[in-house]
């Protein structure tokens, strides 16, 4: 079975190949802000979007590592936590 997950650390590598085209629909205000930021930073909208996506994927990878590290911790039911908070007068 092939593992299709990407190693986020290699997403910036020069061996990624040619860029791929995608159509993305932005909210009008977000698109305007992106265009302005691109102009002010002398970068393209694509560069800004790629950087944001890489950063988001990197954060996701860090979150998954944290979850893996905490997998053996005892789990608590939400309802039980609320009951305890109520009983202690914290909510």
The model's confidence at residue 1, banded by pLDDT at 50, 70 and 90, is very low
Predicted TM-score of the model (pTM):
0.61
Q: Taking all residues of the chain, what is their mean pLDDT, rounded to a whole number?
A: 87
- The architecture in CATH of the region 22-87 reads Orthogonal Bundle (1.10)
DSSP state for residue 26 in the 8-state scheme? P
Q: Does residue 5 register a pLDDT over 90?
A: no
Q: Provide the angle, in degrees to the nearest 10, between the axes of the packed helices 28-41 and 45-69.
A: 110
Map out the domains of the chain as residue ranges: 22-87
pLDDT the model gives residue 36? 98
- Of the listed ranges 8-17, 28-37, 59-68, the least confidently predicted one is 8-17
């Amino acid at each position: 079975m092939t593992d299709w997950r990407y190693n986020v650390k290699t997403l910036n590598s020069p061996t990624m190949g040619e860029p791929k085209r995608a159509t993305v629909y932005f909210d009008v205000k977000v698109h305007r802000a992106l265009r302005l930021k691109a102009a002010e930073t002398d970068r393209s909208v694509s560069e800004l979007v790629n950087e944001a996506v890489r950063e988001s994927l990197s954060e996701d990878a860090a979150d998954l590592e944290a979850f893996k590290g905490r997998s053996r911790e005892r789990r608590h039911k939400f309802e039980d936590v609320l009951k305890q908070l109520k009983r202690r007068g914290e909510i």
